[in-house]
Chain A
Amino acid sequence: MTSPSFAFVPRNISKGGKQQGTSAHVPSPESSHSLKLIQTPAIERKSAYPGPSGSDKGKQKVPEPPAKPVYNEKDISILVVLAFSDYALWLDSDLRRKTEESFQGEEQDAGFLPLSYLMRRAFGRENLGQDYMPTEANAVKAIRTYASDVLEVRMLVSAPSASVWYPSWKPERSSIGGYEVRRKDCTTLLDNATREFTRHQWDDRTIYMENIPAQYHTIPGIIRFAQGLLSHSSCLVPIQNVTLPPHHLDKAEDRPKCKGFALVTLSNAELCQVFLESWPWTRSFQPESDDFDLAEGNLETKEASKFGFRTLPKARWDKLNEEYLAYRQKLISELADANEPPDISPDSDVRDVVDDVLEDTPAPLGNATTMYSPYPFGCLVFARNLHLETNKTTLRALFATAFESSLVDPAGIDYVDFNKGMDSCYLRLASPEHGRVLVDRFSSHPVVQSHGLDDRGKTPEASQKAIATEIIEGKKEEVYWEKVPEKVRRQAVEKAVKALNGKQSSSVHTAHEHSEESRPRKKRNRG
């Protein structure tokens, strides 16, 4: 593979002196879904659907001041490399697809992705505000300084003609003068064994770390710390992923805060062994000696000793989680049986526990949404190949066209989960039937958006990719809804149940009409 002959763009083509910034994108559930490791352990847990109920008002965790780290260059490079890791390619179907597509174009373009795209993935889940988001220029400098053995950067000099990145419309103006990045090992990228990995294989390479020294309590910090402990390793990208377990009171959009522990996925089992053997889960405590500074090892090693750093294979961690939950349940039952008030203390968590038990919803059985369902089943659709300049209003109208020639309520789209600049979105539908009607319609009548405000769609040309829709079910569906705020989720469930009930009887509407007679009646079907 020949590297591009141009690495720098003459002034008259690039866009003036101003840096090409990336806009801060609030991560859509899609991107955070694809990046975040499924954070619930691989067990059925009854309290899998977190979130306080309305009665928990007094028990919310103390709001913390938003900690927005400003990343230094090393950390920026770490996060970009992480966003393009083998694990990221495995987990994120959008990233994988776009990477594969980049090999289908010109040879010189093979493997290149826009830096802006990678940065959205790298920093999206960090929930940074506009002020804190690094610019592309920052990232390029960071990569060139710290990750040049892993990533290659080039500047985009002209509008790509037939690039797969810009299928059906004129190229993004902002991308001219922007940068593109590819992995230096891109020739072997697609054949890499990790492509075919199962979740289990990644889990075998994942360890739980605890008592991470206080100064490393960020994702890049953890990676720096871990890399410091692996100083003898020659592996280029030893850390493939870091997941911070969420707090039980976290809302969907909350960024999990590092409390000194994390799940870290490594490139191979040997690296895991290094940690597990050097920093075992149980070891006798050696009190800090005065010779601390003379002790062997680098800074990370010393700090790790000082803080009692320890590690556990993920499989074992999963087992302990199971044990914890079972034990917790046992204690709750014990309390309930004893029928006594719990230990006398301003111990609000105990009441939380009891409330949680009452709130517990059974695992979904069958597909019918009931008032006890954790989320509305079958009401989630994923759509892609949208126009990059489109917006929510346009999309809502566009997808609602699916209901025009059908018998369902035209107001079938509950919510368009979309972020500007993305070419995909999730749709929350009012009922599973709406989902089916929508997907059927868009597959039998494929369309593209001719421009950002096209809310009717037109027949795609040969080179154009039609808008693709699919119903999301199973684990993916569960994971999506887990990130939705509890209140919103409940409303969606209620709506779906009402829709089901509405079909069976009109009693709901009768009551509604009686109580609001003065209001004009809502017509149910328009034909």
Chain B
Amino acid sequence: MPLPVHADQAVPVYGNYHGYYSKRPFIQDPRLALLPAEFFVGKRVLDVGCNEGWVTCEIGQSRGARQVVGVDIDDTLIRAAWKRRRTVWSLQSPECGHLREESCPPPKRQRVLGDAPTTDHSAHNYFPASCEHSYGSLPIPNRGCGAFPHNVTFRTVDWVKDEIPDDPNQYDIVLGFSISKWIHLNNKDEGLKEFFYRVHQCLKMGGIFVLEPQPWDTYSKARRMSETLKENAKYLQLRPDGFGELLQELGFSHGQRLGVTGKGGFRRPVDVYLKQR
């Protein structure tokens, strides 16, 4: 069940942290940086547990995706995600918007692990952040093309249980960044399996699932958040180390580890799975 607007949850039991991105430095998402430049170009992407949409918007603006859908269980976060989309648009250079009128934006050549050309960064962070703050957002014109921000949308949904209209069109890529722990703790083994099954179903053949699972030793702190999580945790038999096997059974390839990002307790691997059957 998606959370109502004024849920005002003191405890983010779904991992639905508010202000997650505001206090952290965010120039470029390090997990996305692990994926090659062409990875998202022209693709339809689903970002599960998108929070305030910072990564979702980056994919839509800077990675050449045809369409990116961000979903989250918390409506407050989704509202913030729409706001983030407006903010990203309001920082973008006017030329950027014009150049991409005719076709999908070709990606700027990006080498893995950064070294992003300065032009990209400067076009995307062209205006001072104070402008939107002091004068209001820039309106988004309807230019009829699929360029950012039109290629980014958000929905409030418990995607483990419910479908959204975009699902049947099938995606090229599904992202599960730092989400598996929360699905697992809230829905137990069955819920997690259901989630993996749904990912498989809504991916095209040859589509890719990018999973950043939290390690098992981080579950102990999370389960102390509420009685429900504490109770659910008792029944968990699946472990993150076993996710790969589950996914293979569903029809995915063997997982390929792209790398590990994050610091300290946030250190997590990023694995990609190809839908083979």
A284 contacts partner chain B, Cβ-Cβ < 8 Å: yes
CB distance from B147 to the nearest CB of A (A): 12
A327 surroundings in chain B (CB, below 8 A) = 94, 138
| Selected interface stretch from B26-34, B237-245, B249-257 | B26-34
Interface bits A440-470 vs B (CB < 8 Å: 1, else 0) = 0000000000000000000000000000000
CB distance from B18 to the nearest CB of A (A): 11
Find the B residue at minimum CB distance from A257: B133
The docked-state distance in angstroms from the alpha carbon of A47 to that of B136 is: 10
| Selected interface stretch from A190-198, A219-227, A242-250, A507-515 | A242-250
Find the A residue at minimum CB distance from B134: A245
Is the CB–CB distance between B139 and A342 below 8 Å? yes
A321 surroundings in chain B (CB, below 8 A) = 128, 130-131, 134-135
Find the B residue at minimum CB distance from A343: B140
Interface bits B137-162 vs A (CB < 8 Å: 1, else 0) = 11111100000011001000000000
Find the A residue at minimum CB distance from B24: A214
Taking A245-B134, A248-B134, A345-B153 as known contacts, 10 extra A-B pairs with beta carbons closer than 8 A to each other, sorted by chain A number, are: A47-B135, A214-B23, A248-B133, A283-B118, A323-B94, A324-B138, A331-B139, A342-B140, A349-B136, A353-B136
The docked-state distance in angstroms from the alpha carbon of A246 to that of B131 is: 10
A259 contacts partner chain B, Cβ-Cβ < 8 Å: yes
B121 contacts partner chain A, Cβ-Cβ < 8 Å: yes
CB distance from B74 to the nearest CB of A (A): 15
CB < 8 Å neighbour of B128 from A210, A308, A345:
A210
CB distance from A324 to the nearest CB of B (A): 4
CB distance from A460 to the nearest CB of B (A): 45
Is the CB–CB distance between A350 and B127 below 8 Å? no
B11 contacts partner chain A, Cβ-Cβ < 8 Å: no
Is the CB–CB distance between A284 and B135 below 8 Å? no
CB < 8 Å neighbour of A335 from B114, B122, B141:
B141
A-side interface residues, number (CB < 8 Å): 51
A208 contacts partner chain B, Cβ-Cβ < 8 Å: yes
| Selected interface stretch from A68-76, A285-293, A387-395, A405-413 | A285-293
CB distance from B143 to the nearest CB of A (A): 9
B-side interface residues, number (CB < 8 Å): 41
| B residues in contact (CB < 8 Å) with A | 22-25, 27-28, 30, 33, 79, 82-83, 85-86, 94, 113-118, 121-122, 126-131, 133-142, 149-150, 153
The docked-state distance in angstroms from the alpha carbon of A216 to that of B230 is: 37
Is the CB–CB distance between A282 and B121 below 8 Å? yes
CB distance from B251 to the nearest CB of A (A): 34
Interface bits A271-285 vs B (CB < 8 Å: 1, else 0) = 000000000011111
The docked-state distance in angstroms from the alpha carbon of A342 to that of B27 is: 29
CB distance from A345 to the nearest CB of B (A): 6
The docked-state distance in angstroms from the alpha carbon of A320 to that of B93 is: 10
22 residue pairs from A and B, CB less than 8 Å apart: A45-B135, A214-B22, A245-B134, A247-B134, A260-B129, A261-B133, A283-B118, A287-B30, A308-B27, A312-B128, A321-B128, A321-B134, A321-B135, A323-B94, A328-B138, A331-B141, A338-B142, A342-B139, A345-B153, A346-B82, A349-B136, A349-B139
Find the A residue at minimum CB distance from B23: A214
The docked-state distance in angstroms from the alpha carbon of A307 to that of B23 is: 10
Is the CB–CB distance between B30 and A288 below 8 Å? yes
Q: Which of A246, A283, A335, A343: most chain B CB closer than 10 A? A: A343
CB distance from A349 to the nearest CB of B (A): 4
CB < 8 Å neighbour of A331 from B27, B138, B149:
B138
Is the CB–CB distance between B33 and A332 below 8 Å? no
The docked-state distance in angstroms from the alpha carbon of A247 to that of B130 is: 8
CB < 8 Å neighbour of B140 from A248, A261, A347, A356:
A347
The docked-state distance in angstroms from the alpha carbon of A320 to that of B127 is: 6
Find the A residue at minimum CB distance from B85: A345
B127 surroundings in chain A (CB, below 8 A) = 320, 323-324
B139 surroundings in chain A (CB, below 8 A) = 328, 331-332, 334-335, 342, 349-350, 353-354
Find the A residue at minimum CB distance from B87: A349
A317 contacts partner chain B, Cβ-Cβ < 8 Å: yes
Given A342-B139, A342-B142, A347-B82, CB of A259 within 8 Å of CB of B114: no
Interface bits A22-60 vs B (CB < 8 Å: 1, else 0) = 000000000000000000000001010000000000000
Find the A residue at minimum CB distance from B116: A285
A516 contacts partner chain B, Cβ-Cβ < 8 Å: no
Is the CB–CB distance between B118 and A284 below 8 Å? yes
CB distance from A12 to the nearest CB of B (A): 53
The docked-state distance in angstroms from the alpha carbon of A347 to that of B43 is: 25
Is the CB–CB distance between B25 and A308 below 8 Å? yes
